[in-house]
Amino acid sequence: MITVKKPSEINKMRVAGKLTGDVLKFIEEKIKPGVTTAQVNAAIHEYIVSHDAKPSFLHYRGYPASACVSVNDVVVHGIPSGYVLQEGDIVSIDVGVVKDGWQGDAARTFAVGKISDGAQKLIDVTRECFFEGIKHARDGKRLGDLSNAIQRHAESHGYGVVREMIGHGIGRNMHEEPNVPNFGKEGTGVLLKSGYTIAVEPMINAGTFKIKFDPDGWTTRTADGSLSAHYENTILVRDGEPEILTL
């Protein structure tokens, strides 16, 4: 069942969402060559708990860290490690925050030092996909309208749209109904209503849309080794433009 959030609940999600966005602003300054992905995770963990909140991802379904730190061809769920970020890498940081019982979820892909023009274009287009999609996150629209807009924008640049990993409803729980794919047909899917809160998260590959899993069961890579980028925010559906809770 998809829940319509009450005004008091939306206010709590705004607080959780703002903190989630603040985490990503904080960590962006620390993304540089020579830093390990484990150090990135540790900094995120400390920031969240120092603000009287909890990292949503830590131990969620067995996940061992407070953030997903996904480098280059890793699409999502990269487990922080001793890997040292190198000049020219791109790194996707996905974080979730629980504050006063309510969730925020957001992701960004950052450049490590100077990156190639192709890598920068992928990051930029992935971000654009999110904003193209949420033009349709309005009361009375169909979820397929949002999904189709993301897919069309990505594929117009020759990129692959990941099928297996999708966005989701969010509220008291990290994952709620509905599923929010980044591909689909216009005029299909769930009818959106004011008060729905969803995490919209394009995961866009420079090459094939296909993915593969590492033996750890978490790390998800592009099947062809191409770069992947990720851009996510938690949003509130309204009668009119949606409200982005994690910016």
**One-character DSSP codes across 94-120:** EEEEEETTEEEEEEEEEE-SS--HHHH
| Residue where the block lists tokens 């420079």 | 206
What is the domain extent for residue 198?
Answer: 7-244
| Residue where the block lists tokens 């509220």 | 171
Domain assignment of residue 164, yes or no: yes
Residue 58 pLDDT:
98
Domain assignment of residue 2, yes or no: no
The domain spanning residue 19 has which CATH number? 3.90.230.10
Domain assignment of residue 47, yes or no: yes
Whether pTM exceeds 0.85 = yes
Residue 4 pLDDT:
98
Residue 52 pLDDT:
98
Residue 239 pLDDT:
95
- Count of alpha carbons within 13 angstroms of residue 217, beta-carbon side: 4
Helices 117-134 and 143-156, interaxial angle, to 10°? 160
Domain assignment of residue 127, yes or no: yes
Give the tens place of pLDDT for each residue, 86-140: 999 999 999 999 999 999 999 999 999 999 999 999 999 999 999 999 999 999 9
3-state class of 243 per DSSP? strand
Domain assignment of residue 1, yes or no: no
Residue 3 pLDDT:
96
Residue 152 pLDDT:
98
Number of domains in the chain: 1
Q: Which two tokens stand for residue 125?
A: 């287009």
Residue 108 pLDDT:
98
Cis ω before 181 (30° cut-off from 0): no
Question: Which residues of the chain fall short of a pLDDT of 70?
Answer: none
